[in-house]
Amino acid sequence: MTQPLAPQYNPSSIESELYRWWTDRGLFSPESHAPGSGEPYVIMMPPPNVTAVLHMGHGLNNTIQDVLIRFERMRGRRALWLPGTDHAGIATQNVVERELAQEGLTRFDLGRDAFVERVWAHVRATGSAIIEQLKSIGSSADWSRTYFTLDEGLSRAVRETFVRLYEEGLVYRGHYIINWCPRCLTALSNEEVEKDEVDGHLWHLRYPLADWSGYLTVATTRPETMLGDTAVAVHPDDERYRHLVGREVRLPLVQRLIPIIADAAVDPAFGSGAVKITPAHDPNDFEIARRHQLPSIDVMTPEARISLAAPARFQGLDRFEARRQVVAELEKAGLVERIEDHRHAVGHCYRCDTVVEPRLSDQWFVRMEPLARPALAAYRDGTLRFVPERRGDDYAGWLEGIRDWCISRQLWWGHRIPVWYCDAAGCGKVSVSRNDLSTCPGCGGPVRQDEDVLDTWFSSWLVPFSSLGWPETTPDLETYYPGHTMVSAPEIIFFWVARMIMSGLHFMGGVPYTDIYLHGTVRDTQHRKMSKSLGNGIDPLEVVRRYGADALRYSLVSGMSVGTDVILDPNDLEASFAPGRNFANKLWNAARFILSNLTGATRPLAGQRGNSVRRSELTLADRWIIARCDATVAEATEAYERFRLNDAAAAVYRFIWSDLADWYIEQVKPRLYGDQPGGDVARAVVAQTFDVALRLLHPVMPFITEALWRRFPGRPESASISVAPWPRPDQRARDPEAIRDFGLVQELVGAIRAIRAEYGVQPGQTIRAVVTPESTVTAAALEHERATVIRLAKLSALTLGESRERVGGHAVLSDGTAVFVPLGDAIDVGRECGRLGTEVDRLARLVESQEKKLGNDQFVARAPSDVVERERQKLTTWRDQQLVLVKKRELLGCV
């Protein structure tokens, strides 16, 4: 204790200082807090985008990880939480391109090298912002190991991976239909396409037969693609069209003659049963075209404008403008049979929400099936555990239907594909190399490197080992691979989690972690995802400023149960975060009181040392709080272990507020003041239980618990709660009798307080109470805590025995103990009769239904005997209570 604490906790005045103190001492590095000892425990932080600004999703994700890592750190594990940032190819490139657009420039104006340099400058300027923000919510990651996915080391890992997979035949270049974003001007993987239901139309178009003898109707949702049609397909068994197969239609507007073919992929029941085939703009059509050796005509530019391959009047039109014009012309020609409303899923770019265009192009792919097989096996054999369990089905389902991964991106920001082409006539060698090439290994001539970069996720899927130094065999790699817990969101399973497992198995021979905890999404009260565009976001830093990081963390943790979403109200921060702030303030004030009453080091509660508190020195209340504390240790520990962070927080909250503050501290006060007998015992009990509570709470509320814990007298200056040993349940602390007996004391005080409130007894006025204990045990307990009852119920006297008076307030405790508070004139007899009457009626109903239950032979015969016994006990108790109250009513002369 140095200076007295202010009556109101002010988080901002201590948080940054404490954080600096932690990092100065290197407490977040596993080496420093447990040198060479303890089993490693590793969490890989999902690397935020390097340009990201902290939002609630980060807040939730990182709070969970921090709780887990702090918990395991205190349990003595060599806890490593490894952070990093992701270069985030498309996202970051978009940011800088937008910046350029402000200056009226495009990346093409700068050229590749200058543009990349510009992105680096941007990253260097803003790059550490998200890291600093993560620190301000208390994240105890080992920042000394922070990586960036474009670092030299990780780049080497990326290249090694690409080359090895190529050598194994798992990376290949192919000419396929891929998802193309016409705004980002790049290919996307299937996972990067978000399907949204859109109200569209189904156009039924008439294609005249070549000899003008009739027409064939096709149905399409994208009429503009007809400009690139090279066939019409029907099902081979479709009687309606069988006679047309092999003949030709004249493609309207283009006047190209195209064949009518038969292919089993056509669904005769959909639309007209005839499909226009546009091999360059639809994956199905592409497959059909391959089977029938049809030509592809690409009628769109990368920007999704109509290309030179289409008739001149359409060239240069945007795809949607082209759609209108194509339809208009067809209508004029009488070739539109009808237009149906049609709701269907349309792919959108996950970065810019532009409608994705299927496009035929040369891209690099990873053959996924061989990688997926072991990843699936690791789930099936129980190596991987998902929390919540059902998420494992999502994982397995995706792996089962896995498709090859398109990894090339037509961007400039990212890992350049390590492939060099030789253009020399007669050579044309394609070289895949770990080192940069300047000449062709085949002919010695000049080479040019592939222009494309790799999908961002191609570097992040390696993080569990690339961040530890792979492909080198570093000590870090040997110690911290494999890790343990992955904390992520369900939508990241496919992008990242599953792929990390595949790469881990393939390159390291084992899964990167075993437990996969998938949390929910932060939403507003209308259950909408918080987003910038909706303007329903809550800035975590604003919450930190107003309520403190601990309050933020407490609210996130307690608002979330395993796998459920967290709902916060952006319009009422008070509702969401005041509970956490209030709790912090409660702790602060409890500590203020406790610490001001500790004069020095306290006696140990249990142990062999000479001055240990002996059991015989403990009061009933002491034994009770020690037992409650012990139960809380067990409860919280189990909850943390099971990822039930909300349960852990609730257990500690309950203990601190309801048990320690409301009851124990209130009852122990007289013993703490001055030099009372037993004061040293009281101080020992209150100090020890509060110390334990702070430790149990530390993972959730690290700042305030550290600030208070450090202030205990006798604490070494260097001690930090963040590496204090985790409390363990103690068999000797278990004390069911104390729980029961002190429970009666609490009940009695509550009963008297209720009577006081009921009859408006002035708060300052003391009254008498006469209590008729149901048993000698009850009598002993009440006798023992007589002073407690007197003080907390504000009594002038507490008499155990029968009362001769009649007029007053009556109550009965759960064990049948009768309580009488003589109030004389102050009481309205009629009112008291009514009050007791309601209570008697309530008990009568309980007794009646209980008698029915126990009168049921089936119940008595079939229910387990302990259940039956318990139910009998209940009946007896309720009867006793009822009896007591009935007698009271008689005494009062109620009618």
Partner RNA sequence: GGGCGAAUAGCUCAGCUGGUUCAGAGCGCCUGCCUUACACGCAGGAUGUCGGGGGUUCGAAUCCCUCUUCGCCCACCA
Of 588-627, binders to RNA (CB under 7 A) are 589-590, 592-593
Region 184-203 residues binding RNA, contact defined as CB under 7 A: 190-191, 194-195, 197, 202
Nearest distance from C-beta of residue 279 to RNA, angstroms: 12
The answer to whether the beta carbons of residues 235 and 267 sit under 8 Å apart is yes
The amino acid present at 637, given as its one-letter code, is T
Q: Is 424 in the site for RNA (CB under 7 A)?
A: no
Distance between CA atoms of residues 469 and 475, nearest Å: 9
How many residues line the site for RNA (CB under 7 A)?
A: 89
Q: Is 561 in the site for RNA (CB under 7 A)?
A: yes
Q: Is 338 in the site for RNA (CB under 7 A)?
A: no
**Using CB under 7 A, which of the segments 6-14, 70-78, 254-262, 293-301 binds RNA?**
6-14
Nearest distance from C-beta of residue 870 to RNA, angstroms: 5
Tokens 């009271």 -> residue? 888
Nearest distance from C-beta of residue 560 to RNA, angstroms: 8
Region 390-409 residues binding RNA, contact defined as CB under 7 A: 390, 393-394, 397-398, 401
582, 612, 791, 872: residue in contact with RNA (rule CB under 7 A): 582
Q: Is 266 in the site for RNA (CB under 7 A)?
A: yes
The amino acid present at 689, given as its one-letter code, is T
Q: Is 284 in the site for RNA (CB under 7 A)?
A: yes
Q: How many residues are present in the chain?
A: 895
Distance between CA atoms of residues 732 and 729, nearest Å: 9
Q: Is 369 in the site for RNA (CB under 7 A)?
A: no
**Identity of the residue, 63 or 585, whose beta carbon is nearer to RNA in the bound complex:** 585
Region 757-796 residues binding RNA, contact defined as CB under 7 A: 757-758, 763
Residues 343-362, one symbol each (x = binds RNA by CB under 7 A, - = not), give: -xx-----------------
Q: Is 870 in the site for RNA (CB under 7 A)?
A: yes
Q: Is 217 in the site for RNA (CB under 7 A)?
A: no
Plot region of 507 (φ>0 → left; ψ -120 to 50 → alpha; else → beta): alpha
**Identity of the residue, 487 or 665, whose beta carbon is nearer to RNA in the bound complex:** 665
**Identity of the residue, 573 or 719, whose beta carbon is nearer to RNA in the bound complex:** 573
**Using CB under 7 A, which of the segments 121-129, 168-176, 323-331, 749-757 binds RNA?**
749-757
Q: Is 858 in the site for RNA (CB under 7 A)?
A: yes
Backbone angles phi and psi of 729, in degrees to 5: -60, 145
**Using CB under 7 A, which of the segments 7-15, 160-168, 531-539, 715-723 binds RNA?**
7-15
The answer to whether the beta carbons of residues 888 and 829 sit under 8 Å apart is no
What are the distances in angstroms from CA 318 to CA 322, 328, 346, 410, 673? 6, 15, 18, 21, 83
472 class by beta-carbon count within 10 Å (0-12 exposed, 13-18 middle, 19+ buried)? exposed
Region 626-645 residues binding RNA, contact defined as CB under 7 A: 644
Q: Is 298 in the site for RNA (CB under 7 A)?
A: no
**Identity of the residue, 429 or 546, whose beta carbon is nearer to RNA in the bound complex:** 546
527, 532, 609, 804: residue in contact with RNA (rule CB under 7 A): 527
Q: Is 330 in the site for RNA (CB under 7 A)?
A: no
Nearest distance from C-beta of residue 668 to RNA, angstroms: 10
Q: Which of 38, 138, 8 is nearest to 698 (CA)?
A: 138
The answer to whether the beta carbons of residues 883 and 858 sit under 8 Å apart is no
Q: Is 273 in the site for RNA (CB under 7 A)?
A: yes
Q: Dig out the tokens for 488 from the structure.
A: 């992520």
What are the distances in angstroms from CA 836 to CA 753, 809, 814, 894? 16, 9, 15, 9
Give me the sign of the Cα torsion angle 91, 95, 96, 98. Answer: positive
567, 807, 844, 875: residue in contact with RNA (rule CB under 7 A): 567
The amino acid present at 313, given as its one-letter code, is R
Q: Is 221 in the site for RNA (CB under 7 A)?
A: yes
Q: Is 4 in the site for RNA (CB under 7 A)?
A: no
Q: Is 23 in the site for RNA (CB under 7 A)?
A: no
The answer to whether the beta carbons of residues 536 and 524 sit under 8 Å apart is yes
Distance between CA atoms of residues 28 and 702, nearest Å: 13
Q: Which of 823, 665, 846, 825 is nearest to 752 (CA)?
A: 823
Q: Is 529 in the site for RNA (CB under 7 A)?
A: yes
Nearest distance from C-beta of residue 84 to RNA, angstroms: 24
Backbone angles phi and psi of 580, in degrees to 5: -65, -45
**Identity of the residue, 40 or 388, whose beta carbon is nearer to RNA in the bound complex:** 388
Q: Is 856 in the site for RNA (CB under 7 A)?
A: yes
Backbone angles phi and psi of 246, in degrees to 5: 100, -20
Q: Is 867 in the site for RNA (CB under 7 A)?
A: yes
Nearest distance from C-beta of residue 26 to RNA, angstroms: 32
CA dihedral 707, 712, 716, 719 (to 10 degrees): -40
**Identity of the residue, 218 or 463, whose beta carbon is nearer to RNA in the bound complex:** 218
Q: Which of 336, 301, 332 is nearest to 318 (CA)?
A: 301
The answer to whether the beta carbons of residues 793 and 824 sit under 8 Å apart is no
**Identity of the residue, 427 or 860, whose beta carbon is nearer to RNA in the bound complex:** 860
Distance between CA atoms of residues 291 and 236, nearest Å: 14
The amino acid present at 250, given as its one-letter code, is R
Q: Is 753 in the site for RNA (CB under 7 A)?
A: yes
The answer to whether the beta carbons of residues 178 and 346 sit under 8 Å apart is no
**Using CB under 7 A, which of the segments 122-130, 214-222, 240-248, 406-414 binds RNA?**
214-222
**Using CB under 7 A, which of the segments 127-135, 218-226, 319-327, 795-803 binds RNA?**
218-226
**Identity of the residue, 4 or 382, whose beta carbon is nearer to RNA in the bound complex:** 4
Outline where 233-390 has alpha helix (H).
283-292, 319-332, 369-380
Eight-class DSSP state of 54: -
144, 611, 873, 876: residue in contact with RNA (rule CB under 7 A): 873
Q: Is 236 in the site for RNA (CB under 7 A)?
A: no
The amino acid present at 22, given as its one-letter code, is W
> What's the chain's Rg over C-alpha atoms?
37
Per 3-state DSSP, the chain is made up of helix, strand and coil in percentages (nearest 5) of 45, 20, 35
Q: Is 701 in the site for RNA (CB under 7 A)?
A: no
316, 442, 510, 579: residue in contact with RNA (rule CB under 7 A): 579
**Using CB under 7 A, which of the segments 268-276, 436-444, 622-630, 879-887 binds RNA?**
268-276
Distance between CA atoms of residues 603 and 184, nearest Å: 68
Give me the sign of the Cα torsion angle 359, 363, 368, 369. Answer: positive
Nearest distance from C-beta of residue 527 to RNA, angstroms: 5
640-649: b (≥16 Cβ within 10 Å) or e: beebbbbbbb
45, 88, 584, 618: residue in contact with RNA (rule CB under 7 A): 584
Q: Is 815 in the site for RNA (CB under 7 A)?
A: no
Region 652-671 residues binding RNA, contact defined as CB under 7 A: 657, 661-662, 665-666, 669
73, 145, 519, 581: residue in contact with RNA (rule CB under 7 A): 581
Nearest distance from C-beta of residue 882 to RNA, angstroms: 17
Q: Which of 886, 883, 854, 888 is nearest to 871 (CA)?
A: 854
Q: Is 155 in the site for RNA (CB under 7 A)?
A: no
